[in-house]
Amino acid sequence: MFDINAGMIKVFGNKIFVADRSEYNIKVFSESGKYLYKIGEKGEGPGRFKRWFGVFTMDSVGNIYQGDYFQGNRFINVFTKKGKLIKTIKIKLNKDFGIEDIFIMDNKNIYLGLSYGYDFKKIGKLYFWGTKYHISKLVDGKIKKEIFTGTSYHDFSDERKGGWPSVPFEIYYLTAFSLKNRMIAVCKNNEDKIHIYNLKNRTKAIIYTGWKKRLIDRGKFQKAIKEKLDSPRLNPYFKNLYKKLKIKYLPDKNKPMIERFVFNPEGELIVCKKTAGKLYKIKKFSTIGKKLKEFQDTNFPFFISKTKLYYIYYDRGSDTIFIIIKKRGENY
């Protein structure tokens, strides 16, 4: 099971590192597609992945940093690029948390995107259940120097005990990191603005994409609910909850807009917009928010190197994941 919102693919040298959530490891391939080896395994303790959603990153020398989600291991595994466990970094936080993102400047400057806690919002007859998200610096295992915080709602119920069914048009946070410019970009995926944090000089800025926010379409919302209700796997209790869900109850009225963004090696931000057609709408911005380019493409790269673009393609028919490699053009 792969998740396009997780840090699921990295490239170092001539090797491709891909998160395999279903088997709780990171698989390593050559650029010709040859499988080389795996890193990590399911379980508790050093070198193991307990509850993993595919989040990992790599530093400037190729070391791998991996972290678990809620109720997982409360530390970061650090491996060499060949898969040897170097150490674990404990996270001292007196609450449940999940690691959503890891940003590595060097082994003394680690920033984490964490989801933690619960937030309830009653709208109409339903309770919406959310989690707080924040990006903070990790200092001696402790979370300090928070630089961003927000809340996302993703489940709902008819009582204040926690959410169960997922809300259609789920709203969540997107992030990207530029090691070259020491910058973190973060945004809520239904907003048109992207927050940029410069970790080197501690300045921040906002990039406005120029794309107009749009309200969730009532017809598409009803279609999404119908698909849930028609599912043979949905139990009667959940079906009753979906029948109660109305578009006027949603805590976020704007539909998801930004699909994904990523920094290229030059430190420019490439932003992709959701579109109903086959083409992705893409804009390139400088680090100060100036729009450099606007174009369309059939896909959006998960990773950009100095000379190549790396895409992930999932063929539902054959249930197969493909890694597509292209040469970089002038747009990216």
Element (H, E) at 19: strand 15-20
Residue 91 lies in a domain: no
pLDDT at 107: 73
Expressed as residue numbers, the domain containing 300 is 171-214+254-332
> What is the pLDDT confidence band of residue 289, given thresholds at 50, 70 and 90?
confident
Q: Specify the CATH number for the domain of residue 326.
A: 2.120.10.30
> What is the pLDDT confidence band of residue 5, given thresholds at 50, 70 and 90?
very low
Whether the Cβ atoms of residue 40 and residue 23 lie closer than 8 Å to each other = no
How would you class 179 by CB atoms within 10 Å of its CB: exposed for 0-12, middle for 13-18, buried for 19 or more? middle
332 pLDDT above the threshold of 90: yes
pTM here?
Answer: 0.91
- How many structural domains are present in the chain? 1
- Tokens for 222, please give them: 């009803």
175 pLDDT above the threshold of 50: yes
Q: Which alpha helices (DSSP H) does the chain contain, by range?
A: 218-229, 236-244
More confident residue, 211 or 160: 211
* SS3 assignment, position 325: strand
pLDDT at 229: 93
Beta strands in 245-319 (DSSP E): 258-263, 269-273, 280-285, 291-297, 303-304, 308-315
Q: Which of 28-42, 145-159, 315-329 has the lowest mean pLDDT?
A: 315-329
Residue 259 lies in a domain: yes
Q: What type of residue sits at position 54?
A: G
Whether the Cβ atoms of residue 92 and residue 44 lie closer than 8 Å to each other = no
DSSP assignment of 62-85 equals --EEEE--TTS-SEEEEE-TTS-E
How large is the angle between the packed helices 218-229 and 236-244, nearest 10 degrees?
A: 170
- Tokens for 250, please give them: 């949603």
Mean per-residue pLDDT of the chain: 90
Q: Max CA-CA distance within the chain?
A: 55
Distance (Å, whole) CA 191 – CA 157: 25
Residues of the chain with pLDDT > 90, as a percent, come to 71
Residue 136 lies in a domain: no
Whether the Cβ atoms of residue 230 and residue 145 lie closer than 8 Å to each other = no
For 226-274, write each residue's pLDDT tens digit. 999 999 888 898 999 999 999 999 999 999 999 999 999 999 999 999 8
Distance (Å, whole) CA 198 – CA 147: 10
For 182-204, write each residue's pLDDT tens digit. 999 999 999 999 999 999 888 89
pLDDT at 3: 43
* SS3 assignment, position 249: helix
4 pLDDT above the threshold of 60: no
Residue 274 lies in a domain: yes
How would you class 309 by CB atoms within 10 Å of its CB: exposed for 0-12, middle for 13-18, buried for 19 or more? buried
Distance (Å, whole) CA 306 – CA 266: 8
2 pLDDT above the threshold of 70: no
pLDDT at 1: 37
6 pLDDT above the threshold of 60: no
Q: Is the sign of the CA dihedral 289, 291, 292, 293 positive or negative? A: positive
For 294-309, write each residue's pLDDT tens digit. 999 988 999 999 999 9
Residue 294 lies in a domain: yes
312 pLDDT above the threshold of 60: yes
In which region does residue 203 sit, left (phi positive, over 0), alpha (psi from -120 to 50) or beta (all else)? beta
Residue 176 lies in a domain: yes
The conformation of residue 146, written as its DSSP 8-state character, comes to E
Q: Is the sign of the CA dihedral 309, 312, 315, 321 positive or negative? A: positive
For 9-64, write each residue's pLDDT tens digit. 999 999 999 999 889 999 999 998 899 999 999 999 999 999 999 999 999 999 99
For 207-239, write each residue's pLDDT tens digit. 999 999 999 999 999 999 999 999 988 889 899
Residue 183 lies in a domain: yes
Residue 210 lies in a domain: yes
pLDDT at 7: 55
Residues of the chain with pLDDT > 70, as a percent, come to 98
For 99-140, write each residue's pLDDT tens digit. 999 999 887 899 999 998 888 899 988 999 888 999 999 999
For 25-38, write each residue's pLDDT tens digit. 999 999 988 999 99
User: How far is CA 195 from its chain centroid?
Assistant: 15
CB atoms within 10 A of CB 34: 8
